[in-house]
Amino acid sequence: MPKKRVVPVSACLESFGDDVGQDETGGDNLNCPKCNGLHSHIIAVGSLKHRPESGGGEGEDAYAGTVVIGKTPARRSALAVVFDCEECWHKFALVVQQHKGMNYVTVHSPFDVRVAKRVFNLTVMYAHECP
């Protein structure tokens, strides 16, 4: 697996302004950090577990309604929305990490989906993954 990098969210956003199609909800689009592709799908939502040596890390390991799908080096757990790019099949995550009352939003690229696949029993295979 390539080394994960943390990318500022602003580097992955594309604004369509008022030029929004009838079926779209508007707002900014989260592009793929690898190929800048516009089309991706949410494949998992989960928590990233805080480091155990943080001295009684505040809060639970997983946020309510989620399960742990990875780790974070921070003192508190993080929330991750995992995407799969339709154009290059790259897996990346929009991560919200809280620290001292502030919420930092970053993109983790690539995102290791092995835990998420196991937890959610994801069996969806794309053409490029078929044996």
Q: Where are the domains of the chain?
A: 5-17+27-129
110: preceding bond cis by omega (within 30 degrees): yes
More confident residue, 131 or 118: 118
Asked if residues 104 and 76 have their Cβ atoms less than 8 Å apart, the reply is: no
Is residue 35 within a helix (H) or strand (E), and if so which, with residue range? Answer: none
Asked if residues 64 and 79 have their Cβ atoms less than 8 Å apart, the reply is: no
45-81 confidence digits (pLDDT tens)? 989 988 776 554 455 688 888 888 888 888 888 999 9
**pTM exceeds cut of 0.85:** no
| C-alpha 73, offset from chain centre | 16
81-123 confidence digits (pLDDT tens)? 999 999 998 999 999 998 888 889 999 898 887 776 666 655 4
CA distance 69 to 48: 6
CA distance 66 to 48: 10
**18 pLDDT above the threshold of 80:** no
**4 pLDDT above the threshold of 80:** no
CA distance 72 to 95: 10
More confident residue, 9 or 46: 46
